[in-house]
Amino acid sequence: MCSLYSLTRPQSEIGKVLSVELDDTGNLPPLPGIFPNTSAPVIRMRDGARALSMMRWGMPSPAFVLRGRKVDPGITNVRNTASPHWRRWLSPEHRRLVPFTGFSENEKAADGLHPPVWFALTKDRPR
């Protein structure tokens, strides 16, 4: 996935479609732009029930990325699940379901710019 997605469907619909039993998010507004290192709703298991909770998007960087850096830039996409770095987070208790209505990827335009292109299951744009 990309580094930008949206969630614009009503909170009640998210709960119904994804069988949420507990909701910790309060009054969840439409989120037309969710970026790395920001909080967004996810579904996780808590005490045997599906809970809708807010969590920060991102994971710690592998050690080789941190060499010579004072700040961890974080990782938003796991590309190599065979890497030892990810083993501790691959077990079921660390898995999350991320609800979204659309996501974007940047395309390379003829003018050299990289505008976002949105993808969604429905024809109406998810933003």
Residue 25 lies in a domain: yes
Percent of the chain with pLDDT over 90: 55
CA 12 to CA 36: how far, in whole Å? 25
Q: What is the 3-state secondary structure (H, E, C) of 33-61?
A: EECCCCEEEEEEEECCEEEEEEEECCECC
| pLDDT computed for residue 85 by the predictor | 85
Total domains in the chain come to: 1
Residue 105 lies in a domain: yes
User: Residue 32, exposed/middle/buried by CB under 10 A (0-12, 13-18, 19+)?
Assistant: middle
List, for residues 54-106, the tens digit of each pLDDT value: 999 998 888 888 899 999 888 888 888 888 888 888 888 899 999 999 999 98
Residue 45 lies in a domain: yes
Residue 3 lies in a domain: yes
Taking 80 as the threshold, does the pLDDT of residue 127 lie above it? no
List, for residues 18-48, the tens digit of each pLDDT value: 999 999 999 999 999 999 999 999 999 999 9
Residues 6+ apart with CB under 8 A from 72: 60, 61, 65, 66
Residue 1 lies in a domain: yes
| pLDDT computed for residue 87 by the predictor | 86
| pLDDT computed for residue 89 by the predictor | 87
Average pLDDT, stretch 111-117?
91
| pLDDT computed for residue 99 by the predictor | 96
Residue 53 lies in a domain: yes
Residue 83 lies in a domain: no
Query: What residues make up the domain containing 23?
Result: 1-58+96-122
Residue 12 lies in a domain: yes
Q: Residue 13's closest CA among 41, 45, 54? A: 41
